[in-house]
Structure 1
């Protein structure tokens, strides 16, 4: 297996951090990004392996951030083989309380950030022998939960799911594979940011009766990065969340 150069957005904590650690462990080159520079520097120092690790601080809702990520990957490692669009925000809010500014926040960071970071990356991949894009969505696009209103972030994530399939179709002949991971409830700092003190309380949403771990997402991301014949897929990583329900 050749050494890949991988860009990971939102990589200072949680899922992105776990993905970065696994790719480094496998010997790949990694460029990590986060909007919070202090968190990013801490992750950079703790991850180690600095001969194969670079960092770019910046909000992905700014188009320039995606361009700087690609430029950094080329300058340090000479190529861009994989982009993992993990950066994103999530917040529950009743639909009738959502104003334009609230909706725009999710569209700008989640959808627009993924869109234009991918655009910068594919521009480079077309100069190479293809590559892989991995987008992080959510099972809530296809399996809404009553009592957990989140129309603004889910609308943005739904756009990411649609974008995934469109890009797979547009660039398949260029050997650029585009897939999505749709996680269920994963143990990460995201829950605390949304006022959830005990993520395990949601275990019953999954047929396995437990929540996922960041390492579960990282392992699937690694498979999709290294696989040569999977494209246009949104893979549910959800412990059976979408597949069915328990009664009692």
Structure 2
């Protein structure tokens, strides 16, 4: 099998933004390795699925190993898997804390480390992480300290990795969304959530996919935190 075709890994790939990212990369001709706890087997020979919890280091290792064994390379990693729990600070439990650290930070660390090693060896690659605009623009309506704690760390790590790996041919960027219309948000909340954005609407999954694919083709962009948030980060 030829290994000239580019390969993307997408975490949190079974639904919402992740599932649309898989479609977007396949439409651009990438082979894809998608992972999530509930992902189903694929009938597409150019789409490999790996079921598992990305917070588990063995899942991260399997995902990168599958990409290398099946397709011979890793060109892009999209760290899309994430957990968001909105609660007043004093109502967070130890379980909430462990869950968000596990998926948002441990998952990022283990799979990014394995992917970065493979990319550095081949002399090229791109890591993109989905964070949240609440890091830069907290809102009283959406109490989210643990999201800021974990995703804010990912924004900082994005800039640091971009500098560390620039000379190795590996770019590192992030997309910072506003509130996106996914199954996470019930339809009856959409009008209220839309009103939290200066443009007056929630984001669509396609808005995030478009941003990620822009960064994919933007060879002179690294260390960027690209806000796709309907103007939230600019102010209200």
1:105 Cα deviation from its structure 2 partner: 1.3
Residue pairs, 1:120-199, within 5 angstroms = 120-192=114-186, 197-199=188-190
Residue number in structure 2 paired with 1:94: 88
Question: Residue 84 of structure 1: which of 64, 67, 78 is its match?
Answer: 78
1:190 Cα deviation from its structure 2 partner: 2.1
- Counterparts of 2:215 and 2:139, CA distance in 1: 28
| Deviation string, structure 1 residues 45-82 (Cα, Å, up to 9, x no partner) | 6xxxx121111111111111111111111111110000
| Unmatched runs of 5 consecutive residues or more in structure 2 | none
Question: Residue 210 of structure 2: which of 219, 232, 243 is its match?
Answer: 219
Residue number in structure 2 paired with 1:29: 31
- Counterparts of 2:220 and 2:5, CA distance in 1: 18
Residue number in structure 2 paired with 1:115: 109
Residue number in structure 1 paired with 2:8: 6
Residue number in structure 2 paired with 1:210: 201
- Counterparts of 2:83 and 2:73, CA distance in 1: 28
| Unmatched runs of 5 consecutive residues or more in structure 1 | none
1:165 Cα deviation from its structure 2 partner: 0.8
- Counterparts of 2:98 and 2:214, CA distance in 1: 33
CA contact (8 A) 2:197 2:231 kept: yes
- Counterparts of 1:63 and 1:153, CA distance in 2: 21
| Deviation string, structure 1 residues 11-67 (Cα, Å, up to 9, x no partner) | 10000011111111111111110112xxx117x46xxxx121111111111111111
RMSD: 1.5
Determine helix, strand or coil for the equivalent of 2:176: strand
- Counterparts of 1:238 and 1:95, CA distance in 2: 24
- Counterparts of 2:12 and 2:231, CA distance in 1: 26
Q: How many residues align?
A: 233
| Deviation string, structure 1 residues 95-142 (Cα, Å, up to 9, x no partner) | 112233321211111011111110010111111022000000000000
TM-score by length of 1: 0.89
- Counterparts of 2:88 and 2:31, CA distance in 1: 42
1:244 Cα deviation from its structure 2 partner: 2.6
